[in-house]
Every structure is written in structure tokens, then in C-alpha cells.
Amino acid sequence: MLIIMVTWASLVMSRTLHEDSISAKHELWMAQSARTYKNQAEKAMRFKIFKKNFRFIEKFNREGNQTYKLSLNEFADLTDEEFIASHTGYKMPTRNISNQSQSYANNWFGYPDSRRGLPRSIDWRARGAVTPVKNQGSCGCCWIFSAVAAVEGITKIRTGRLISLSEQQVLDCSGSRGCYGGWMDDAFSYIIRSQGLTDERVYPYQRREGYCNWQRGAMKAARIRSYQDVPTSELALRYAVSRQPVSVAIDASSPGFRYYSGGVFAGPCGNNLNHAVTIVGYGSSNEGPYWLIKNSWGQNWGEGGFIRMRRDVGGAGLCGIARKASYPIA
């Protein structure tokens, strides 16, 4: 009985010490993330969420049998539902909007029947066609960031000028649902209708939708004439990415994706497309072949704001990455 009581007391003390350690980490995380709470009740509630997420990350990394690592980031005190609602935003449109967007689409996509002729790897960052990683904040307009990054890329390729373009212009002026979600083809369609995008310095991002402050005759920094949807095939997607950065939709519901900090992300994840990103290259490493992806969650997430995702897994690709890909044509 004495041995049982000592063992039980030791376990209780160990749990208490671990709880205190997590509490200290939460305090440090709050300071580093500039997070404050309105009262102690909210802090206690957020700490409970933080503790659950911290333990998930700790357990994942301790198992050590994955091709990627996780770490705490600014999303650590959000529930899965809160995070998906506030930091994703890919949504397919109604039929009417889809038909309007389709009128600007190029209906032909050609690609080789084999891998011959495709480069083994490409990184559009190294070719100067990728602007620094941006941060959508809690506005669900990832679809705009995805499309604008693709337009920035093709503008650099075609003109030699890398210009950070205005997401806010699309958010305010496209007549879309803005922070409540959308898809990249609608962003491309707006850019075509408006005859271009202005420089981000002229129309900076505000993390919320506002009144349109841009007129058709205003200064334009970049234009496109159409866009192209990519067939649901990783080979077709690889061909497109070898030519330019490409907008894609993925399932970002996985906590592993949310807390990704490095390596080649290999899931698990589903095919419920809810987030839009931009593929800016592909390659291979010791962890396997990957897509190089620019996200819009800031430079403190992932590998400086980027993620490498497993490539050539078959079907629609990991997390459905090949299901809804498209790119602008300048």
C-alpha cells in the first residue's frame, strides 16, 4: 500500500511539474506572440487549448518517424474550428459566378505525355519571381493572396519586373465575399475586368474588407489577359509549375499542416479543399519529392512562410493539391 501511495504521489507531482512547465511556456509564448486576454477566465480557456495543442506537437515530434517537424506558432491558442474559420478561405462559388469567371478562361491546356523535357527541379524564388511572404491575418482571403502571387510571378517572367501587387484592391473592389472566402479564378477574372492591379504600396493590405478606393483609370502595375485551369494531374501540374508559379487549393485542416515548421509535409490530410496557396517550385530531398509552396500566414510560419509538400503521391495529390489548380496568362 505504501509503495502504491508513493508511486501515485510521484505521478501527481510529475503531472503538476509538467503542467507548470506548460504554463511557463504559455506565458513565454504570449510574450513572444504579443497575445493578451481580456480577463483570467479567457486566459484559462485559452491555456486549456494551448496545452492540448502543445501536447500534440510534443508527442508528434517525440515519435520521430515523420519527414517533417512541428513547432508552436501564433495559432497555438486557437481551436481547430477557430483556426480554419479565420485563416483559410477557399470556397467554390455559385454557378452564376463560376460562369462569369469561365468567360475569361483559356480552354486549352497542353502538356507532354511523358516526364521527358521537364526540369528535375525549379525554384521561382531563385529566379526572382516570388515576392516576400505576406500575411492574410484573420481575413479568409487566402484565395486572393494565392492568385496575386501567381500574377506577380508571371509579371516578373514576362517583363523582368518583380512588383508586390495589391491584394486589398481585389478584396475591396471585386464584388466578392472577400474575407468570407472565394476562389482564385474569380480573382483572376476581376484582374482582367479591371484591366490590371496596382502596386501594394499604392493600395496596401488592411486585413479587412473596405470601400473600393481604386478606379479603372488609376495606375496599373500588372495586367493579365486570361487564365488557365490545370487538369487534375500531378504531371500536368508539374508542367505548369515549370513555366510559372501556379495557384492551388488544398485541405489545410490537419494540425500537422497548421504547426508545420520544416521538412517535407506528408500528411495525413483529406481532400476537403479549404485553403489556397501558390506553388513556386518543386524538387526532391532526402525526405522525398516535394512541391515548394508559398503560404500567406506570415514569415514566422513553416520554413520562412513556405512549406514543402510531398509530390507524386497519385490521384489528385496530397491534400487534393492537383484538384483545382490554375494560373494567369499575361
Catalytic residues: 142, 275, 295
Assign 246 to helix, strand or coil: strand
Q: Which helix (H) or strand (E) holds 172?
A: helix 167-173
Q: Which helix (H) or strand (E) holds 98?
A: helix 95-102
Strands (E), 245-323: 246-250, 260-265, 275-285, 288-294, 306-310
CB 224 within 8 A of CB 327: no
β-pairing, 306-310 vs 260-265, is: parallel
C-alpha cell at 4: 502504491
Q: Which residues pair with 226 in a beta bridge?
A: 329
**256: Cβ–Cβ under 8 A, 6 or more apart, which residues?**
60, 68, 70, 265, 267, 268, 269
Residue with cell string 500574377: 151
Residue 138 is given by DSSP the state T
Q: Is the dihedral of CA 118, 123, 124, 128 positive or negative?
A: negative
What's the CA gap between 207 and 226, in Å, rounded?
27
One-letter amino acid for residue 184 of the chain: M
What's the CA gap between 292 and 58, in Å, rounded?
26
Distances (CA, A) of 291 to 101, 213, 316: 27, 36, 13
Q: What angle do CA 267, 273, 275 make, to 5 degrees?
A: 85
Assign 270 to helix, strand or coil: coil
**102: Cβ–Cβ under 8 A, 6 or more apart, which residues?**
185
What's the CA gap between 306 and 304, in Å, rounded?
6
What's the CA gap between 186 and 100, in Å, rounded?
8
